Amino acid sequence: MSTDSAIRTVALEEAFLHSRVWDLFPAALQQKYQPVRARLSDVGPERIRQMDAAGIDVQVLSHVQPGVQVLADDQAELSVSVCREVNDWLAEVVAAQPSRFAGFAMLPTQSPAHAADELERAVHRLGFKGALINGHTNGRYLDDASFDVLLERAESLGVPIYIHPTDPPPVVSDTYYAPFDSALVPTWGWPVETGTHLLRLICAGVFDRHPDLKIIVGHMGELLPFCFTRLNAGLTMAGWLSAAGSEHPLMRNNVGYYLRNNVFITSSGVFDVPVFDCARAMLGLDNLMFSVDYPFQDNFAAMEFLQQCDLSPEDKERFAHRTAEKLLNLDDDERDPGRRAAVGDTWYRLISRAKSKVGRALISALVK
């Protein structure tokens, strides 16, 4: 076995890079991704070998941010074309390794109607499990009325939308983060941006109009669990007071209701047990799912975190794979029981784990 435990793991925020989208990225972004470009581009035996070494059973693949959201609104036709090409390619990747990979669709959100159609095509024809959208699209968030057609389609298809962090609109970055934006945006700006995006959906009554819509966010809830009590009291009351006298209040329930009924969060990139304990206490274990954030985060660190979580065997199974399998309608029976012994040889696993530990120890020492 490749890990100390035979527990099955499904990871939901695992990135890849397609050459067609790479060519659309500005030079500065290409330079940023260059150190991990090889790992992002690999969706073949080497990625699976690394999964096996750490004990990751399934990766749900999605294109690295900002994906097709890098395009302007007047490039909607190009966005549609690129999404179809990338989704068709990803479907072939998944078909080659159906027990190891699943897919989240890339959507041309510059045109919400086309995005809805592409989501339906990706789910019905390609077998994808939902979609991942990289935050706002040129300053428009999913609470914008134009996206109702997309949200309604996701609800009717019964698939979730994963909201992934991206850079805030330039006016926000220039005001809040410059001249330190290169450091502050990915570490602080992204979780604030994504948490705010989700709160906008609640404030706009999106989940009242689409009560069965499911949204996923990563990084242990993008700061929201830590602010849960304040948000549930203050934001709920503010929403109700602002709608006083209205026949159609924007927010019919409290904030906690929507977070627990419509929102799922993953552990992607956050492997701290006290942080996990906070998220579990505020939202409940049924809303939490395991993830890594590969290749930006370490598979071994994620698996060590999973082992350290104070959960019963049954609850650990829920967190590690059962909730994800139910939400994404993954085929729990399609497994390859011999794959770890065949692919992840012991020597490679030991060397990989040692490199992981040394690298994390070095970083820890440097920042003390």
3-state secondary structure of 286: helix
**How do the pLDDT tens digits run along the chain, 368 residues long?**
334 457 999 999 999 999 999 999 999 999 999 999 999 999 999 999 999 999 999 999 999 999 999 999 999 999 999 999 999 999 999 999 999 999 999 999 999 999 999 999 999 999 999 999 999 999 999 999 999 999 999 999 999 999 999 999 999 999 999 999 999 999 999 999 999 999 999 999 999 999 999 999 999 999 999 999 999 988 888 776 666 656 555 788 999 999 999 999 999 999 999 999 999 999 999 999 999 999 999 999 999 999 999 999 999 999 999 999 999 999 754 455 445 544 447 777 788 777 777 777 777 776 67
Catalytic residues: 293
Q: Which two tokens stand for residue 128?
A: 């994808």
- Structure tokens, 355: 């490199």
pTM for this one? 0.93
Cβ-contact 321, 288 below 8 angstroms = no
Q: Which distant-in-sequence residues (6+ apart) come within 8 Å of 219 by Cβ?
A: 165, 190, 191, 194, 266, 268, 269, 270, 293
Residue 313 burial (CB count, 10 A): 8
Rounded distance, CA 329 to CA 333, Å? Answer: 11
Residue 211: predicted pLDDT: 97
Yes or no: say if 130 and 90 are a contact pair by the CB < 8 Å rule. Answer: no
d(CA 65, CA 77): 20
Contact 68, 83 (CB under 8 A): yes
Amino acid making up residue 150 = L
Res 108: pLDDT: 98
Positive/negative CA dihedral, 174, 217, 366, 349: negative
